[in-house]
Structure 1
Amino acid sequence: MPFRRTLLAFCAFASLTGGALAETYPARPITIVIGSSPGSATDGLARALGNEVTRLTGQAVVIENRAGAMGGIAAQTVARAKPDGYTLFITTNTTQAANPHLLKKLPYDPIKDFTPVSMLTKGYQLLVVNQNVKANSVAELIALAKKEPGKLTYGSGSSSARVAAELFQQMSGTEMTHVPYKANPPAVVDLVAGQTDLMIVDLPASLPQVRSGKLRVLGFSGPKRSALVPNVPTIADTLPRYEAGYWNALYAPANTPQPVVQRLSELVHRALATPSVRQVVEQSGQEIALSSAEELGRFQLAELDRWGRIIRTAGIEKE
């Protein structure tokens, strides 16, 4: 009986403590770490969410860009952070599903080092070339690549961009040369300057350059045309069943208290329901794709398997 009373008292205390923790969180500024540089889809999403969470809670949200190592620097930073809900990670399939299949040495574990909070968005990409490339359609680009195998170069600063281009080569029977970057925005800068020939990259990084006439868009990587570029055909119009995209999700360090995870999930779900954040999502060519923490965990496991199959089929070797 004494043990039973002690156990009941402990459970009651834990319940009250958890509830109190959720009620007081956040009590100070939050840092959201991202593995890309300003101008990327993830950066824009993080800043929009951060602004709304600040409005909802009165606490500042700081966005910390730690580009490099395919998002690995940011992932490692969060993995080593104190699990108190004040250092968070908005990231993509690059760090959580693809990197284990692309990198020989991974300085973090995408499953064990993080607590899933919520899925946020899903998005697609544009196939763009610089103005010196003599191709005005996907079919013409394929013909050009086949004419001189290995001559055309493509940049990538994320696994989404890398795998999208590798999948394109596999399905089109072409061979191009890969040029790696720390993040997509600087890769786009070099593409505009003519240092590389093409990319398949997210809309926030590429669409402004298309609209200014500095890049030419040939195709959209989604299964149907985008409302942002309705006159741009899908790559699948030329390569049937081609589809390449990415997703963004929110994670906390492993062992973050469940009441904090629940509070975070509530905050980001409320933020993504606001017109201002929805507008940022839609203008970046993404769509909202919310989930529970448990659903995100299951989704990530399935994505680890799916990206592994894609990467092996594409013949990409670990670096």
Structure 2
Amino acid sequence: MISRRFVLAAVGLSLLAGQAMAEDWPSKPVTMIVPYNPGGTTDNLARLAADAIAAAIGQPVVVENKPGAAGVVGATLAAGAPNDGYTIFFGNNATNVVQPLINPNVSYDPLDSFDGVATTADAVVFVGVGAGTGMTDLDGFVSYLKANKTKFGSAGVGSMGQFSATYFLQETGTEAKHIPYQGSNNAVAAILSGEIEFMVDPAVTRQIDSDKMNVIAALSEERHPAYDSVPTAKEQGYDLSLTGWFGIFAPEGTDPEIIAKMSAPLADLVASDAYQDQVLKMGLLPTYRDAAATDAVVEKDLEVFTAIRDSAGISIN
């Protein structure tokens, strides 16, 4: 029979070992897995975060791009890595919330496989409608949807754009047919050609000055500083808010002291003028959440996106 004294001694040794690990960390470079190809939005944000962490901890943070399966390949590798603080993951709500909800092949769990480190940016969702509809405000467009058979586009089945538009339709009591495309650029092009009527996606801001598309609402609490001519849905009488985010995660069970050492310099990064300028030019919002707040936003989004998925029956199968 194992004595209570033995158990307490074992626990004490484990705690001391963990404390020693946190004190010795980092003794070698840290790897940051990015689940997409180099040069995209997620990759660009990840490299800014990696540089900030590296400067603070005195060791390189090496970005490794592991694209595939809409981010699932990289997320799976990160979730299965040792939780010693030497592997971290730069993901977003698509990799950490949407894919686990719709993809039966995902082996990681949004809450149990990762510990949040920090979020560094948010992506505001906008409603973009074809100029051919003649609609220039949200109230008019909702009436238009109720009176006409319409189609909306997205970057593909299970994409953030599909979820965002489905949320918009559910909350406004309207209907439209989903047309999935290979990427958001193709969906935007479909609006410009008149093939579909609208999108609910950050990508529509690329056409904010176009004479073929009207960007009529932001689904955010406040107007986006870079697109402040676009009113929020709430300003127009609709209580709609849905935002994407980007952030860093560590394999579950990573020492909280190590996580804190990585999270703290990211707060300074996001507050810096240079970062604010760069991120706003990407069409994003510089937003810092600490480890606890990052875990909380994942938990909240799981509830929101599960409800959207279940109501609309969204699945990649």
Fold-level similarity (TM above 0.5): yes
- What is aligned with 1:161? 161
Shift of 1:162: 2.2
Query: Aligned to 1:218, which of 216, 219, 223?
Result: 216
Matches within 5 A, 1:255-274: 255-274=253-272
Matches within 5 A, 1:130-169: 130-149=130-149, 151-156=150-155, 159-169=159-169
Q: Name whichever of 275-284 and 176-185 sits farther off.
A: 176-185
Shift of 1:101: 3.8
CA distance 1:154–1:141, shift in 2 (3 Å): farther
Q: 2:287 aligned with 1:288, yes or no?
A: yes
Q: Distance in 2 between matches of 1:297 and 1:307?
A: 15
- What is aligned with 1:180? 180
TM-score (norm 1): 0.77
CA distance 1:146–1:78, shift in 2 (3 Å): same
Q: Distance in 2 between matches of 1:182 and 1:80?
A: 30
The Cα RMSD (Å) is 3.6
Counterpart residue type for residue 315 of structure 1: A
8 A Cα contact 1:100 1:106, kept in partner? yes
8 A Cα contact 2:35 2:90, kept in partner? yes
- What is aligned with 1:80? 80
Shift of 1:19: 0.6
Q: Secondary structure at the match of 2:153?
A: strand
Q: Unpaired segments of 5 or more residues in structure 2?
A: none
Shift of 1:181: 5.1
Q: Secondary structure at the match of 1:166?
A: helix
Shift of 1:55: 4.8
Q: 2:21 aligned with 1:20, yes or no?
A: no
Q: Name whichever of 9-18 and 257-266 sits farther off.
A: 9-18
Shift of 1:125: 1.5
- What is aligned with 1:62? 63
Shift of 1:11: 5.6
CA distance 1:310–1:36, shift in 2 (3 Å): farther
> What count of residue pairs does the alignment treat as equivalent?
308
Q: Unpaired segments of 5 or more residues in structure 1?
A: none
Query: Aligned to 2:313, which of 311, 316, 319?
Result: 316
8 A Cα contact 2:154 2:183, kept in partner? no
Q: Secondary structure at the match of 1:154?
A: strand
Identity among equivalent pairs (%): 21
- What is aligned with 1:209? 207
- What is aligned with 2:96? 96
8 A Cα contact 1:29 1:59, kept in partner? yes
